[in-house]
Each structure stands twice: as structure tokens, then as C-alpha cells.
Structure 1
Amino acid sequence: MYKHLIIICLVFLLVPVVLADNVELQNVKIYVDGDRQSGSVEIRPNSNLTIEIQVESDIEDEDTEVEEVNVEIIIEDLDDGRDIDYEFEEFSMEHSEEITLKKNIQVPYILDEETYLLTVKLKADDDEGNDYKDEDEFDLIVEKEQNEVVVSDYSFSPSDIQCDQDVTLNLEITNIGEEKEYNVIIELESNILDFNEKTNDIDLDEEGDDSQYEKDYTISIPENIKGSVQIKVSLTYDNDDITDETYIPFTVQCESKQVENPEPEEEPDTPVTPQEPKDEEENEEEDPIVPDTIDDDEETDPITITTEPSVLPNAGYISTEEKSFLDNFDETTTLIILGEILVIFIILFIILLIRSSK
């Protein structure tokens, strides 16, 4: 009799372990320039990372609310030796609820060819005083072309361009390839503006501040020009073996006769988007959408929270891999499985005791 009572008590003690509540990072996906990554996450200078995070509440008690959920993204040393650290706006969750968060992060142009650690951290508290923590890590592996020089930024001064005036084009180029480049040539030309200028003998290191070159060009806008205009920028490098062309568009305001801009002989590449200055307050983003209480009797789709692109320039897209089955085995899950196995053994033990007593 006493043996039976002891066994029953053990079963009741194991029930909370088997049914343990949790708030966790259910799934993290990473996209690089719009492509979903599987395995290692490979990035390039100026890649756009999109990090999609699925947070799940496994709390069964419908009266329990997770009041403070904090999710943070950290990429160590990525921004010229500084961490990129972004924290989503704090939100709350109901029982048995899923929420998806999304963040775009632009990879800098200047990037060492090494591996960077991306960490997603979750901390949460419920109204019963329970704490929850979870963490997921990814290696970002930098891959570079052997030789590659790009227009990394540009700006006009004044920004409001009028006809019959001189404007200054500030142009920045960056070596994002593996090798140092010697005797890089920049050539700017526009037939409609009757403008052509060339800069020779530029040396660019493969990394660091000396991998960039910046110069101002003065352009005279004729009095009879109005509307959309573009300047072709040709970059020649790798011992004159490679020439890349980029078109910089701008608009001229003028009341004079408009002269149409002739189409270029070749289809222009996608225009370079100028870099925006970094915002010192990287954490100021839109508030997340806080979910309403979920009704047990009706089905609800997971709620998605999307933030604006990060302050790093030139938004694009990114990638990650889902957690594997083994990756989801945290301490809580392991305890649950062990508890279930123990319950099975206890039940078998009870059956054997009953049979032996007969």
C-alpha cells in the first residue's frame, strides 16, 4: 500500500516537469540579398541581411500573460570593429501565441574577410514572476570577389540642381575585392551636359580606410537643360582588365527649353543609391504591433511585427537556417522528455507491482 502511495506521489511531482511552460525563439531565418541561406550564412560587402525571428509562447494557462518580452540582435565587430546592436520594442504575449519579428541590416562596404558572430537573444517575464531566456547564434562568413571596385556613395551640392549653374558631385569609390588595386581609373561623362572628366593612378588597399577614394567634380549645367539627367561613371581596374559602368541619375529644375537626354548606347546598370548618414540612435524604430488576447474558441494567425531597415546604408535582403530538431533541445525540453520517460517507467513499475501482489 505504501509503495503505491509513493509511486502516485512521484507521478504528481513529475507532471509539472512534463507540462513545463516556456517562451522561446522557435525559429530564426536569415536572408542575404533576398535569398534564404541554408547552412553557413555567406555575406558580401554591402549585402542586405533580413533577420526573421519567430517567438513562441508555450504557456498553457490562459490567465497567464507574458508582460515583458525583449528580443535583441547583436553582430560583433561588423561595423568597422564596432558591434551592430539592435533591440526590438518590448512587447507582451498571451498564452499559446506566436509573434514574428523582422529586421533589415545593411552590411558595410569596408569589411574584413573573416567570420562574424550574429546572436539573437530573448528575455521574458510573465505575471506569475517566472523568467524565460533563449539564445540562438549564427556565423556570418565574408566572401569577396578577387577584384571588385564599386561606387559606394555620391552626393550633389547643392542638392536642388538648377539649370545654368555649377554643381559639385562628391563621388566615393571602394575596393571590396580580395586584392589591392593599382592604377584605378575613374571616368565621368555625359553627352547632354558636354561633360567628360577622368582621374587616373588611384591605389586602393584591400581593406581599411585606404580601400576608399573620394573626390569632388564640378559640373556646369547648361541653361537649356531640364528634367532627368544621368552621368555615366566608368571604373577601370585589375590592370585595365575590368571596366564597370554605373549611372548616377539626377533632376534639373529649369523653366527654359527642355533638351531630351539621349538614351545611352548600352542598357544602364541599376543606379547607385547614395548612403544615408548613420543614425546615432540606432534603437529608435517603430513600436511593434502588440497582439490582442487570443480567444480559445477561434483560430488566429500568427502576428507579424516588421521594423524599418536599419540605419546602415542601402537596404537590400538576407538569410538564415531554421533550427534543426536537435537545436531545439534546450534544458527545459530535455527535462520534459526525461520526465515523460520516467512516467512511463513508473507506470510499468506499478503494473508489475499490482501483478506481483495478486
Structure 2
Amino acid sequence: MDFAFDARTEELRAKLLAFMDEYVYPAEAVAHEQRAGLDSPWRNVPVVEELKAEARRQGLWNLFLPDSEYGAGLTNLQYAPLAEIMGRSPQIAPTVTNCAAPDTGNMEVLAQFGDEAQKKQWLQPLLAGEIRSAFAMTEPEVASSDATNITTRIERDGDEYVITGRKWYISGAMHPDCAVFIVMGKTDPDGADIRRQQSMVLVPRDTPGVTIERAMQVFGYEDHYHGGHAEVVFDHARVPVSNLIGEEGGGFAIAQARLGPGRIHHCMRLIGMAERAVELMCRRAVSRDAFGKALAQQGVVQNWIADARVAVEQLRLLVLKTAWMMDTVGNRGAHTEIQAIKIATPRTVVSILDRAIQLYGAGGVSQDFPLAELYAGARTLMIADGPDEVHQRSLARRELKKYL
């Protein structure tokens, strides 16, 4: 395993680091001020639109897609350090580079499983940043950590599918540019194979029978840069049969293919969040005095900073190993490592952010510093893409199987 950055990665890292320093970090405060004057909290603010144009001009656009026909053509190992850099400002950087969830996962699905008509209608505008999208899987009435529980029905009626169900925490759905949902539901609810009961269909947002019932908050945050989260009702919404992605019964497999790279992206952005937290801790520690000496001279603060550095270095190596394995043996071959990073990264980064908040005192939970919002995002990722406990259960079974 060689995790040294190749020339292409080094070039993109240098450009992205400069872009962050020159444009992204200064835009954080500007975006906060501009958002206060918008008629919708989920609409992009002017500074974000300006940064999108600059990112495209600099070639920092669609970096996440491994297929050079659609994106930068980077491997997981090449993209991982770039995702880490963007994670230092997770509300702005992924959005302005068109590398933000849920659009990234939806573009990957369409690139891998969509037919030519679907790619032309939906993938091309997403790649161009002309529209946004949402992924509708989670439901309020069932434990969606077990995807076989999903109750939304996708029933065929002649040349159409009829979609009926209720979804919630549908990321991206509140954004005014959200034009399409990828909806997961059951086409064969009584099928013998519970992992072949589900399918995915494309549902345009303006389809009759699709209702955005309300916005969902995350620890009180609107998550406006991700297009918000919504509770959505599909009441006998009809779409053409041609809107099926892949084949009937293929929804579960498509979901797994979508989540593999997504977990790499999430974990590397989390490491970027941890690096931002460590930087903020150090700056605070050397600039504040308490009980007659600088916080940086307090033993407990030194322990927090040292432990954070060790943890970040450990996590980065584990995630880079996972990215390398995905490139060399595929998602299935890297299954154990993918689950390991999903378990280890959010909980560790939450701990680091918690210490950073403690160091900042009242400022740590305020809107004047990014720590509280970073904490909310990191804590959510202990649930998103499958709760940690589900991954622990599966990982333990795989380990135990060696001895049975």
C-alpha cells in the first residue's frame, strides 16, 4: 500500500488549498450575512454562485466522479485528500465544487445505472450544476436502518409506475433547484428474496401527487447548503416505466453501490472537519489565559490537542487504506474496511469537536464560530448511511465467521 500523492493529486491539492484560502474561508461570513436577506433559507446566496463559477474556471468541478467521461476521472485514493480539504468548510466547499451530497451519489447512480435518456435528461444538468436532486429512501414509520423494511410502493399500471408512500429527511428536497427525486420503494413486496423486492425510480419534483410537507431540522439547523431536508408524501404519483433505474428488484444493489463511495467521501470530509477543529483549538489555546497562564499551558488542554492529533492521523490512514482497497479490489472486497471507517470516523470526530467546543466555552456553542454546526453535522453521520450499530453488527459477524 502506497499512500503517497501522485502528481495529479498534488496539483489538485495545491489548487484546492489556494482556492479555500482565497475564496472559501472568506465567503463563510459573507454567506451568513447574505442568507439573512433571502426569501428562502435554502436558496444559494450570491457569494456561493460566484464561487461556483470560479471553481469551474479553475477546474475544481465534479472532482468526485471516477469516470472521466463525466468528471475528473480520479480514483478513490486520489479524491480522498481533496474531500478532506473540502471538509474543512463542509457547508460551502462541496457545494461550490459540485461535490455535495446528495447530488454526488445521485450522479454516481445515473452514471453507473442510468440509460442514455436518463443521463441526458437528468445527469447532464446535474453535472453542469443547473439543477439539484434528492434521494428518497428513509421513512418515518419504519426502522429504515434495515432497508428491507421500506413500505413505499412502486406499482406498475400499464406504461406507468404509481408511487405511494411517505419519506422523511430527504436531503436536498427543500432547495428550489431540486428537480428530481430518486425514490426507493417496493415493486415486489411479497418476493421470496427480501433484497430483490426494492426498485428505484426517477420522480420529477413537479409530478402530481408529490408533496413537500415540511422541512426537517438537524439539531435546529436548516442544513441550507445541502438543500435542506424534507418530509415528502408520494400520493399515487405517476411516472413512465422508462423512469425505472436499472431493473426491477435492483434497488437494494444500487443503494449499496451508491453508499460505498459516499462513505469514503463522508469520512474524508469528517477528517477535514477534525483538522479545522484542531486548528481552532490551537489558536484559542495560545490566545486565551485562565488562572494565571495561557490555556496552551494547561495540561488538560495539551492532552486534548495531542489526543486529537493522534486520532486524526490514525483515521486518515484507515480511510486511505479503504480508498486504496476500493480501487484495487472493489467495494465488496473492501466491505470490512468501509464499515470500519463508518464506525470509527464519526464517533472520533464528534469527540474532537466536543473538546474544541469545551475549549471555546460559550463561544463554542454560538454562531460566531463553526464548531457547533460542525458538531451537528458530524453527530448526524453516526446515523446517516446506516447507523453505526448496524455496521458493528455486520462487521462482528464477518469476524466471527472466521472461527465458526
- Scaled by the length of structure 1, the TM-score of the pair is 0.23
Q: Say which structure, 1 or 2, has more relative contact order (CA 8 Å, 6+ apart).
A: 1
* Bigger CA radius of gyration: 1
- Scaled by the length of structure 2, the TM-score of the pair is 0.21
Q: When you count strand as a share of all residues, which structure comes out higher?
A: 1
